[in-house]
Structure 1
Amino acid sequence: MNREVTFSSDVQLAGTLSIPENVQDKAPAILIIAGSGPTDRDGNMKKFQANMYKQLSEFFVSLGFITLRFDKRGTGKSEGKFITAGMWDLVEDNIAALNFLKKQAEVDETKVFVVGHSEGCLQGNMIASKVPIRGLVMLAGAGQSLMEATDYQREIAYSQIKELTGFKGFLIRKLNVIEKDRKKAKKLFDKMLHTDKDTIRYQFIKMNAKWFREHAEYDQETSFRKIPCPVLAITGTKDAQADYRALERLTSDVGAPIETHIIKDMNHILKIQEEPIDFQKLKKTYVKGFTKPLPTELTNILSKWLHEQI
């Protein structure tokens, strides 16, 4: 059963509360936290209909969990402006969602979990140190800061550009395309870091400097040490946006009990990807995966861990 709901942070937010049909009294619950970008409650953006959060919700409901997923501020039916939302604005929105979820009559507030995807992993870190939760799940992004993830993505792209052959490869090397792009990225980052404005314009594109700046200033390792609840972290080997090798640092950085898993061939939208990582074809590859089910290995791990916690 899906219920349209609204709740308030400093703006009104809209989402979907999904409740299993067989709930008799009170049930455990999960807040799903979206990754970066103007993402709606289902995990969709314009021309990008992944529906991954809807899929996750349906899976969790099948396990007997109530779920809440919501449109980010400025997207879907939620109020506010996304382009001026800082990292801490999004944290407060998610805390408001978590508190709203805990107050629902059908929810056992002692058994509420947070499941974060991509940037939602970082959001989950921050929330877990501020609000009591039963457990934290980090999907496709655990262990990396925004800056580290950006560097990872850029270096993959550069390595693939270097491998280009023929006239195109010659031209890229002759024109020093990679070095010019590095300098351009540094110039953009410096501009966002050294302004006190919420947004900047760079090459005619409006960008959220406040969000970037707050991420850059955030001490992730200190946050890891403050997590008081059990943690499950999962990333795939075909993830072009988050490095699965970053999971190694969590076992030493996180003070709470932690379990990590690397899923072979799983990509950033939580689908099995047969093709190698190719940034030039990334969107096309993602679109091919939109209709695929969540990987069986992923759902088995999630099911086992969640039921162990309750």
Structure 2
Amino acid sequence: MSKEIEVIIEGTYPLAATLTLPEGNMKFPLVVMVHGSGPTDRDSNAKGMPLNIFKEISEVVAKEGFASIRYDKRGIGASKGDYYEAGVYDLIDDARAVLEYAKKHQNIDGNRVILLGHSEGSILAPFVNEIISVDGMILLSGTAEPLAETMKWQRQEMINDIRSLKGFEGWVTRLIKLDEKITKMNDGLIKVISETDKAVIRYKGKKMNAKWNREHLQFDVSKPLQKVNCPVLAITGTKDVNVKLSDLEKIKALVQGECETHIIQDMTHMLRKTDVANSMSKIMNDYKKSIKQPIDSELKDIIITWLRNWKSRDVKVHESEFIV
């Protein structure tokens, strides 16, 4: 039976978090969870999109004897600050503050810490590791290139999807030139963002985080990945339309530590499986239906097996320190 403790972490802004401890009175290895993009809380939930990814994973790792900490993003939930004003440097700094806090907790073994990132969190985690080195890393739906490049690929995939539509739906999208409208709107947004130094702008009536978008142009995750010396687990699904499946092998080639990769058939970016056709529009339309189910059991099993192997290997490493 695990125990959840509500804590406040003093960083640039106070961050509200949940520290989950397994049963027992000892120092536990720790999993620090780093968010994907969007206004998500500690459980990976956003308005209208209750993913519960980190909540479920915290329960999984607790059963394996691992503590975990998950936090509300800056300006979300019970955390202070302004979500829309936060840039990439801010997100890295917040994750660092959470990591530093948890490492010092009386029930945490600060020498056995794993960073777990989902989506954008898989980009942030290697940068956090540059500041405070960790002992393991789990990258879910990660990428091996700048986010701007991945987003460019996403847009092209969306356009290809639109152009492949058949029947009446295809006729309508061609009639209104939807593919051209998407390109024009994106080009306009990039121009506005690059020509301002404001943290927040409004574009087409929608509030946008300009600072976050600008800063992502400076961040290339392939560079800090080359400095990762700890064991890594990287997992992506075949129906993940948000990242390139091929980046799994790039991650494996870049990191210096042992890297285990897994491709899960039919799993999406939401870490659930779907039986809809492998089409960006169909998969994204299925998100709200699929998230009513728990995260994928195969994903959980892979994480459990990796954690057990990591713990076994880690114990042997620590035992060797006492051999004379």
Query: TM-score over 0.5 for the alignment?
Result: yes
Q: Deviations for 1:218-242, whole angstroms, at most 9, x for unmatched residues?
A: 1322222122322111110111212
Q: Structure 2 length normalisation: TM-score?
A: 0.90
Structure 1 residues 11-59: Cα deviation after superposition (integer angstroms, max 9, x where no partner): 00001111112x2321111111110001000111111111111011111
Pair 1:20 & 2:1 matched: no
Partner of 1:128: 129
Q: Which has the larger displacement, 281-290 or 125-134?
A: 281-290
Q: CA deviation at 1:279?
A: 4.2
C-alpha separation between the residues in 1 aligned to 2:25 and 2:249? 41
Contact 2:161 2:281 in 1 (8 A): no
Give yes or no for contact 1:142–1:234 (8 Å, CA) kept in 2.
no
**Map of 1:267 onto structure 2:** 268
3-state SS of 2:182 partner:
helix
| Aligned AA (1:253) | L
User: Partner of 1:169 in structure 2?
Assistant: 170
Structure 2: distance between partners of 1:148 and 1:157: 14
The SS at the match of 1:129 is: helix
What is the SS of the residue equivalent to 1:217? Answer: coil
More displaced stretch, 30-39 vs 184-193: 184-193
Amino acid across the alignment from 1:7: I
Structure-1-length-normalised TM-score: 0.94
Counterparts in 2 of 1:283 and 1:163: CA distance versus 1, 3 Å? closer
**What is the CA RMSD across the aligned residues, in angstroms?**
1.7
Structure 2: runs of 5 or more not aligned: 312-324
Question: Which stretch shows the higher mean deviation, 278-287 or 260-269?
Answer: 278-287
C-alpha displacement of 1:300: 2.3
Give the partner amino acid of 2:89: W
Matched with 2:6 is: 4
Contact 2:142 2:236 in 1 (8 A): yes
Per-residue deviation, 1:284: 4.7
Partner of 1:198: 199
Instruction: Name the residue aligned to 2:317.
Output: none
Structure 1 equivalent of residue 319 of structure 2 = none
Aligned to 1:225: 226
**Matched residue SS, 1:110:** strand
* SS of the residue 1:112 aligns to: strand
Look up the SS of the partner of 2:56 in the other structure. helix
Q: Which residue of 2 aligns with 1:55?
A: 56
Question: Residues of 2 paired with 1:134 and 1:190: CA distance?
Answer: 41
> What is the SS of the residue equivalent to 1:304?
helix
Q: Distance in 2 between matches of 1:17 and 1:89?
A: 21
Q: Displacement of 1:281 after TM fit?
A: 4.7
Give the aligned length. 309
Counterpart residue number, 1:304: 305
User: Which deviates the most, 219-228 or 113-122?
Assistant: 219-228
Structure 2 match to 1:95: 96
Name stretches of at least 5 consecutive residues in structure 1 with no aligned partner: none
2:290 corresponds to: 289
Q: Deviations over 1:119-163 (max 9, x none)?
A: 000110101121021111100123243113212322232222112
Distance 2:169 2:302 in 1: 44
Aligned position for 1:246 = 247
Q: Deviations over 1:246-265 (max 9, x none)?
A: 11212222233222111111
